[in-house]
Every structure is written in C-alpha cells, then in structure tokens.
Structure 1
C-alpha cells in the first residue's frame, strides 16, 4: 500500500489523512441532508460536526495513551511517539458521542433525534477511515500462509510487518462499516422511537469489532484479561445498545401515558 500519495512542494498528501477527511465531509453532508428532510434545525449540523470531530480525536488519543500506559510508565520516552502516532476508534466514538451530547444540551437540540440521524453517517465515515488504515498499513491482520489468496503483503509500511502475507482486516472492517451504514438507513424507516437506530449502530459495530479483534495482528493495543481492550469495551457498548434499543420505547410509552393523564 502507499500512504504518501503525492507531494506538492513541501506539502505531502497522506492516504490516511485524505480518507479521514473524505469520511468526515461525507458524514457531514449526509447528516445535513437528512436533517433538512426531517425539517430539523440543520444549521446546527456544521458546528456539531466540528465539535464532535474534535471530541472524537481527543477521545481516541486519550484511550490510545491509556492502552500504552504501562509501557509509557516503564519508558517515559515513549510518550512523545505515542502522542504523535496512534488512535483507538472506540475512544473516538465515545468522545464524539459525549461531545455531541454536551453540544445538544447547550443548544437545546433533541439529542436522540440527531443521534439517530448521525450514526449511519458515522458508520460511513468509518468505512472511509479503514481504507486509510489500509493505505497506511495500520490495524493489520494476522499472518497468513503465503499461498492464501486473500492475503495482502506490505512492502514499505511503517506499521505492518513487511513482505509477509496478512489478513486484510482493514478491508473487512471497511466493508462491515459501509454495510452497517446501509442497514441503519433501512432501519431508520422502520424504527419509530428516537434513539433506536443509534442503538443498533452500537450493537452491530460492537459485535463486528469483537469478532474481528480475534484476527487482528497488531497486539500493541493492550489487553484486559483474556480480551483485547477493544473487545472488553465492545461488551459494554453492546450491552448499552441493547438496553437502549428495548428500553427507549418503554420510556417513550411511559412519557406518552403521563402526558395523556395530565391532559
């Protein structure tokens, strides 16, 4: 793969950064379009996107540093390189959602409605991001037999082992993310309670991530007992998604019943 795509003078366009930018812009336009269709206050989408991206970036970096904490404490010199390189997707998801919730509270915007509108777009952005991972060589899979037809080989990667056949977990992740986006868009036409579409995102992504972690080859991301850090987080994210999926309709009915009784 090739992460340095081309250069214009001193400026180099990196594949990973380009795919992240494409993902963020695509997500922004999708959320804005869907907010307009639902006659929501779509002018708030741009600042929401900016704050969520910043919160997601910070969250992904903090979680990455936490996974490297034992190594950093043993060798503080690693802090410099850890700040420069490395992110954990779950940190970005948690940071982005938390920032969006704070923004909605401050602007008195319905968080659950925008949460539903945004998460299919987030899944799409992740699909582009994983293409960036492929170009950079990060988030690589386990080693395969050289004769295995699905293996990919990096020759000049700063992250993945070079000249070794690897499972293309980046491609698998990207396909799953794009599929998640389309499934969520389809479910948005069927699920009526605010927050249920976003709940399905949490469930689908966490299950896919939990399984795919068994096939990842970059073990530097830390472990919690028998599970990788991402698998451990996936268990809680899936549980939260299930609670929201089945709990939000119950709360909505109770609120509706209370409103009718007050009338």
Structure 2
C-alpha cells in the first residue's frame, strides 16, 4: 500500500514558465495575515497608520535575505559545491532564527529613525510574528522537510492525524515525525497565550520577551527530534540559540524592571514614548 502513496505537489500553479510553489505561497499568506493583525493592533495602540506597512517594506526582504544567508552559512559544505542553488529559496532552506535577527535589527533602526519605542513596536508585533511562524511551517510540510526521525505509521495514526498529513510524512520509504506540525501547534498555543497576556497589561517590552521565551522553549525540544538541524560541530545551532535567547530575554526583563526602564504598560493610553 505504501508504494502507492504520492506526496502532495509542491507546485501550487504555473503561469507560463513561472512555477508558484506552495512553500512561498504559504509563507506569503502568513506574512500577509501577520501584517494585517499588526496594523490593526498598532492603530488601537496609537501608532501612526503607516508604521507597520512602512516597516515591512524593509523588514520582509531583509528577513528573507538574512534567513537565507544564515542557512547557507551553516550548510556551506553543500552550497560551496552547488552555488547555483543558493538563490533557490523556493526549494526550502531559510532559517527562522536568521529571519528574526534580520527583522529585529531592521525594526530597531526603523524605530530610532521614526522616533517610536522599539519595544512598543515589538510588543504589538509579537502575536503576529508567532502566528506567521505557525502558518509558515506548513510550507515545510508541502516540501516534506523539517521533519523528525523515523516512526511507524501506527505512531502517526495514534496521534489522530488526518490521512493527508500521515501520507505526506511518508518519505523515501519511511514515515517520520511531523515536527513541522509540533512547532506549528506550539506556536498557535503561543499566539493565544500572547493575546491573553495583552489583557494583563504587561510592562513595555515584556510581551515581546514572553514571545521569545515561549518560542525558544518549544523550538529547543522540537529541534531535538529533527534530522535536518543546522550544526556547529556536534551541536545543534537552533538549540544553542534557543538557550541563549531564553537566558537573554529573562535577563533583559529583570534588568529593565530593576532600572525602571519598563514603567509604561501595553494598554496605557497615549503610550508613545520615544525612549525605553
């Protein structure tokens, strides 16, 4: 029966010689929804209406570029022999941590130039970011990548997964952990948690730092199941970075409180301070 299982077509549609891949289409949809939610929330929190639209003009291309550069650096042994594939991001191979580094740095510079608190922008964007990540993981699903180690079909059936997911996890004669799904579900739960935390009226910066901690905890454990991790020596880069992000976020949170740098709160009216 397994020999009859056919993977889903990674090509969504073609426009003449141009093939539109599900991978890019799904990531694009995730970005569009994230931007829509951020713009709507930013309007509620008193940001100028064009803030996130203008930010994304810079942040999206820089995030994609930095995500690809990050991935290529840690897979240089392969890409040094296949340089023509470096630009082929539609086949997969972009690293979320690379995207986060690029987008955070871009946002910091943008906020400074606009005279808006970086932490305010980051707090507003946090739920949108993690939701976009949850959606984007389904691009990995279509490419049959970002999966874990080998499992049995019975294992997948016991997870009560729909047939199309089980079949897509049948790759080269074996079934694999759907780690893309584990992370997507973890991120959806994180999105809900962040929406609830907005009502708690956390101090400025703490919603974004909560996102960093939540995502990093999940990524650390899920990464341990994956078979395609980017490695530095014998260590998984994503796990190392996750630990660093958790520790860094916790330290920043306590430092900002100790130094009274986070007195403004998320739901404060007219909360547009230029500092902190």
TM-score (norm 2): 0.82
1:260 matched to which residue of 2? none
- 2:122 pairs with 115, 134, 138, which one? 115
Alignment of 1:114-263 (within 5 A): 114-148=121-155, 149=157, 150=159, 152-154=166-168, 161-219=171-229, 221-225=230-234, 227-252=235-260
- Structure 1 residues 250 and 101: CA distance shift in structure 2, 3 A: same
Counterpart check, 1:81 vs 2:85: yes
- Structure 1: tracts of 5 or more residues without a match: 257-263
- Partners of 2:15 and 2:56 in 1: how far apart? 29
**Other structure's SS at 1:185 match:** helix
Q: Measure how far apart 1:253 and its partner are.
A: 6.0
Task: Provide the aligned length of Structure 1 versus Structure 2.
Answer: 247
- Partners of 1:210 and 1:235 in 2: how far apart? 7
- Whether the aligned pair in 2 keeps the contact of 1:187 and 1:197 (CA below 8 Å) is yes
Note the alpha carbon deviations across 1:49-89, whole angstroms, 9 max, x for none: 121112211221121122113455xxx32333234242111
- Partners of 2:127 and 2:199 in 1: how far apart? 13
- Partners of 2:111 and 2:180 in 1: how far apart? 33
- Structure 1 residues 253 and 46: CA distance shift in structure 2, 3 A: closer
2:20 matched to which residue of 1? 13
Q: Measure how far apart 1:244 and its partner are.
A: 2.3
**Other structure's SS at 1:140 match:** coil
- Structure 2: tracts of 5 or more residues without a match: 1-7, 160-164, 265-276
Structure 1 residue ranges, 4+ long, deviating more than 4 angstroms after superposition: 253-256
- Partners of 1:254 and 1:205 in 2: how far apart? 22
Note the alpha carbon deviations across 1:4-59, whole angstroms, 9 max, x for none: 12234334332111111111111111111001111221212101112111221122
Note the alpha carbon deviations across 1:90-145, whole angstroms, 9 max, x for none: 00011111111111111211111011000110001101100111111121121102
TM-score (norm 1): 0.86
Q: Measure how far apart 1:252 and its partner are.
A: 2.5
CA RMSD of aligned residues (A): 2.2
- Whether the aligned pair in 1 keeps the contact of 2:69 and 2:98 (CA below 8 Å) is yes
**Other structure's SS at 1:137 match:** coil
Q: Measure how far apart 1:173 and its partner are.
A: 1.1
- Whether the aligned pair in 2 keeps the contact of 1:126 and 1:177 (CA below 8 Å) is yes
- Whether the aligned pair in 1 keeps the contact of 2:23 and 2:139 (CA below 8 Å) is yes
- Structure 1 residues 63 and 243: CA distance shift in structure 2, 3 A: same
- Whether the aligned pair in 2 keeps the contact of 1:16 and 1:133 (CA below 8 Å) is yes
